[in-house]
Structure 1
């Protein structure tokens, strides 16, 4: 099928059941068997990170608890995660993609985009995708699905249409026929919260998003409303950017509690511990944020989030802890809690922003005024670069600096160092 006449040809490559597939490639005796990679199976918090397609055929799915999965499928083989093995497989996969073009954008450990618009494919994008898919199988013994489209949104959507080992083409003109009848929750970028907001507006399908008043969507959902309206029409102008994945936008941490918790003192203790980890990670990256979000999952697996934007830089443990507890207490209705999470959003380099003055911190800054005057005098005499306020120290990376494993692996792709 010839797609080379399109302005852009974007591939979205999605590895199929990645962790489980890596384990099967490492140990061929596991092939054809129901396997799952899970956390600690001795604790209730143990959940399935991924499972093989053989396990899925028996009703097993990702995020299912270990005990429930074993009850449903007694022959299920549980394996502990081997992150270094997955990291090595991911790097090998992306190395293969970069052998065709440098316009490769990793999205996570097991998926990424390729812009192959300028690659010589002999006029057949599908055959070219097939050759990539077969090479990954041949060299790494790992299956993948590939979506082919004129933009990232449609390519991502296409790669989800046929798994495992699928190759799907999705053109803009096919959107009304293939996407509009689908429920909104199946649209990439729409989560449970957004789906509920859309449903409150009477919008249940992607087609209804496309036919909705754009101003109404923007007023109710902000910028995401405009973005969803554009994408429901197959419009997405984002470029494949190899550098974009290295931009940290948020730093967070979450934990599943050992048992459903209703004791407020224990819940506060958990939030303080999470806040401490987030603060440590921000410090290790020399980052601060402008807003905070807490994530709550109750015993019935109902999720909700609460957010707050602040005036000043947010990076201190006590500030993060105080805000997270306030947000939680303002929304908690005594229901048993299963999971808590704390995330600082809209992060930026601390050296690139000045703190806003207020009646609460004016006195603190006033004490610094003589120092600031001295700095200005030295800069006027010797130049702006002679002395700067603050000193940016490069910190040694550690486990505390990691926001999540699926992002940590991206260090392997960073050639800027």
Structure 2
């Protein structure tokens, strides 16, 4: 029985090799040639990255003076122009500070005039003049500050855009963000609260937020190995699944301070977006391609058309109009994708031969009845399968059949 099993396994193994070998040889390769022409193209060198669209104008605007809100002139969703009034506060204290600062300035000027009139040429007289002159300078600065505070009682838009936040109502008391309490401004001379008001702390959020809709930018990161390749003004192309068309822009700024991730330093690069036809939205993620070198009308052929001669020079197989071929030496330049630049040896329109390797799928032999594969292999004459059939069952060549 053991001998029969061994014979069966031996025969089965021989059959397996015979049966399977044609399948492994089914995939054959065939070399064919095609003719292509040397053509002019544009070659680019790029650095890629990712970034997020943000409006260039994103202004937080708040009062820098203290007072009670008299008017709120805009609402969320309004579009404003640069210099347009957003809100006003009362000027009662501000006007008092300005009047006091003006009086102080007049007094200082009068003391300077008296000191100059009393000048007798002594060092003491000159010292009094210098002191009075310094007091005039201090009073003038306080007056200028009080006058500016009066202007700040009217809050205006610093840039054109869309109002996205209004956190003020008429009657609210604002403490201002421009100064802290103390003796600043005209209040120092009169015991007031300062030209721009008393503020115990800055406001936690802006009273108005203005976002521009006609200027956008993208900030991306460039590795330290690539940042030296780019410069301000380089063209940038940006794509996103959320955008209909490709966005274009230019490098506006290259940061000087790097950040490191996994031991690789990178630098922030700001891209100024060219205003597109479609409406943009804040927060859209884009893929960026910075083009730091672009050459047009570059003569190229497929890289596989160029082979190496025995002496290491480059060559192509040129195809003449009558179909004859000849080996031509060429000089190559840069490679872009599957194309290589030809700097000499060919002209636009010249035909070169390209070898293409293709795979051909072979065909199995015809299968006979009972699983018999057509061919010369047969079981030995007089061979009988063991009682109960071959181990594992299945059909075998030559009509033998195992029982599973």
Please indicate the TM-score interval, normalised by the length of the shorter structure: under 0.3
Say which structure is richer in helix.
Answer: 1
Larger radius of gyration: 2
Normalising by structure 2, we get a TM-score of 0.19
